[in-house]
Amino acid sequence: MKKVLIFLIIAFSILGFSVPAYPGNIILSQPDGSTIYARQIGDEHTHLMLYDGQPIVKNPETGWWEFANIEGTKLVPLGLKPGKAKPPLTQKSKIQVYLTSATRPEAYERSAPILGTVKFPVILINFSDTATSFEPADFDELFNGTGYSVKDYYLEVSGGLVELQFTVVGWFTASKTHDYYGENGIGGYDEHPQELVSEAINAADPYLDYSEFDNDGNSSVDAVIVVHQGNGEEASSNPTDIWSHQFYAPTSTDDGVTASRYTIQPETLFDDLNTIGVVCHELGHVFGLIDLYDTDYSSDGIGNWGIMGTGSWNGISRPGDSPAHFSGWSLLKLGWVSETNLNGYIGTYTFKPVEINRVIYTFDNLSREGIEYFLMENRRKIGYDTALPGEGLIIYHVDEMANQANDSHRKVDVEEADDDDALDFYTPPHNDRGSAGDPFPGTSNNTAFTPNTHPDSRFYNDPSGLFLVNIHSAGADIYGVIKPEPYITYGSTETLSYEFHTAIATYTIDASPGIVKSSSLTEESKKLEIVVVPPDEPFSIKLSVISTTGVEGNCDQEFLPFYYIVTPDGVSDSKLVVVKPLGWDESPGSDWNDQAGYYWKWVETLPITAYGKEIHEE
């Protein structure tokens, strides 16, 4: 398949990107000293606090957190206190409409290099009415340190292809108060974070040569990283805190370049020094990546399986201290892994850990090559991936033309091996943001991914022909057997070909009488050809081989016969093609008509393909 690196220009959006809300429970204090546990959902664009699954809001007149009614894009307090009064029942559809009220971007322009050394300024800024808790040296270690830092994370996930260098300056003091910059306006947006960023850029100008951070020579700083005093709203739920995000605040400098794009994130997380997850997520946007969590909050997207999902919050001791690696899809876009395409491969395949081997695997829809495909990666709990929900073979269904917020047809969708669809929900009790049952074989011990399994290997509108079976682990490696397509044409002989890495000494074939006509080894005994006469019903062939080195192998394959008829219309060049599965039923594609188990369509030219076979006019 064709891969597209982010050296290219991507469609520009004027909207910003933001980190998803902290997924754990948040303690909220009430005026009488009591506390409640709530969960925040959403992002900087639109967000809600939920208590027992129902929306709550802080009443500005009383200071109490109260159950709220959703009225359009507003939350109206009802005077009912969580934990003291029975909550009103708010329909999930109203919550969904509220969360989707803001449009979010899918991509934007980027031109900074993503290989070699990339430099960024880090500016620390305090508010006029607050005190900071940590020193600049703490942030130099957080960004540039060895063993645990933003720099260390990107060295690991890029396989050493990218080295980030950060210059930390500050603390500086803003002209206005904390609440001025972070207070939420109508719709939940922070009111003035861009003003804070511009002040930070200007305050740091005498101490920085901004031209050093124009990595691609386009007269613009690639990104300014601003760290503000205190907590971020994504974890604190305080409506006057700033929600971490990436956006634009065009500001001229004294160094001949403009500083515009920025990321902003907090000094602290739960009043301790911030972890690296949020910073690394926002830098992913700087490098041109989209959010892979579901931005309309009807599901969890890819969940904790990638830092551009909710994996920015993965942690061992604290949330975000061990953020997930980029998913294989993001790594492919960044050009930090190589790609092995499995179309046409038959036999046992070894999937090496992506964290070590730097390889992902794809299987294309050949009618939409490079657009729709399955992407596979072997993820292990090593390095910054230690806090993953599980380990094994993650299979994504990708459609480059789709939107990540489309629950039934996502851009990047995890094929959950346990088939519980927990990533397809956003709110408890159904969701899990990723589990040990999602990979193959995983805790669900799902060892097959075929058109007839759950989940299945069908493309959205086409059969895939992918039959991946006997998925199992041995050490850190995952092994699987890719079987040939089972479809076979009835009414004539067919030759089945099996290829091997080493020469075959002996083999046995087990099939019903009359099916196998002949067999022979060719190409120095590394290829076995079996000529069969298909019956009018599904049949199986069991093959056992022993190599010249004594290695044994087995393949048990079911075959699905079908026949076809081609009839000219007698007037034009159009031809009616009819196919009939024998003893099984599956459409050959979305553009075929179904009538009582027969599938047909009119075509102008032949050959065409059905069930992976070319159909010619007899």
pLDDT at 82 over 90: no
Query: How would residue 1 be classed by pLDDT, with cut points 50, 70 and 90?
Result: very low
Q: How many CB atoms lie within 10 A of CB 602?
A: 11
- When pLDDT is averaged across residues 15-35 and rounded to a whole number, the result is 70
Average pLDDT, the chain: 86
- What pLDDT is attached to residue 9? 27
Nearest to 90 by CA among 60, 50, 58: 50
Q: The tokens of 99 are what?
A: 């969360």
Nearest to 115 by CA among 384, 329, 335: 335
- When pLDDT is averaged across residues 559-580 and rounded to a whole number, the result is 91
Whether 178 contacts 229, CB under 8 Å: yes
- When pLDDT is averaged across residues 135-164 and rounded to a whole number, the result is 97
pLDDT in tens, 336-383: 999 999 988 887 899 999 999 999 999 999 889 889 999 999 999 999
- What pLDDT is attached to residue 155? 97
% residues pLDDT > 70 (the chain): 86
- What pLDDT is attached to residue 12? 29
- When pLDDT is averaged across residues 415-419 and rounded to a whole number, the result is 94
Q: Buried (b) or exposed (e) across 77-109, using 16+ Cβ within 10 A?
A: bbebbbeeeebeebeeeebeebbbebebbbbbe
- When pLDDT is averaged across residues 138-148 and rounded to a whole number, the result is 97
* Whole-number Å distance between alpha carbons of 46 and 103: 10
- What pLDDT is attached to residue 136? 97
List beta partners, residue 372: 399
pLDDT at 76 over 70: yes
- What pLDDT is attached to residue 365? 92
pLDDT at 295 over 80: no
- What pLDDT is attached to residue 424? 80
How far, CA to CA in Å, does 14 sit from each of 11, 103, 259, 260, 264?
10, 11, 16, 12, 17
* Whole-number Å distance between alpha carbons of 56 and 43: 16
Query: How would residue 443 be classed by pLDDT, with cut points 50, 70 and 90?
Result: very high
Of 107-116, 142-151, 265-274, least confident by mean pLDDT is 107-116
- When pLDDT is averaged across residues 577-602 and rounded to a whole number, the result is 91
pLDDT at 201 over 60: yes
pLDDT at 111 over 60: no
Per the listing, tokens 């899918």 go with 106
Query: How would residue 581 be classed by pLDDT, with cut points 50, 70 and 90?
Result: very high
- What pLDDT is attached to residue 110? 41
SS (H, E, C) 370-385: CCEEEEEEEECCCHHH
pLDDT at 318 over 90: yes
How far, CA to CA in Å, does 511 sit from each of 87, 489, 534?
65, 17, 11
pTM given for the model: 0.77
Q: Buried (b) or exposed (e) across 419-451, using 16+ Cβ within 10 A?
A: eeebbbbbbeeebbbbbbbbbbbbebebbbbbb
- When pLDDT is averaged across residues 201-207 and rounded to a whole number, the result is 97
- What pLDDT is attached to residue 99? 57
- What pLDDT is attached to residue 15? 40
Does residue 19 or residue 199 have the better pLDDT?
199
* Whole-number Å distance between alpha carbons of 593 and 579: 10
Query: How would residue 135 be classed by pLDDT, with cut points 50, 70 and 90?
Result: very high
- When pLDDT is averaged across residues 563-583 and rounded to a whole number, the result is 92
- What CATH class does 487-560 carry? mainly beta
Nearest to 400 by CA among 329, 450, 455: 329
DSSP-derived secondary structure letter, 213? G
- When pLDDT is averaged across residues 83-99 and rounded to a whole number, the result is 63
pLDDT in tens, 48-66: 667 777 778 888 788 888 8
How far, CA to CA in Å, does 175 sit from each of 168, 208, 605?
21, 20, 73
List the domain boundaries for the chain.
17-99, 116-286, 303-465, 487-560, 562-615
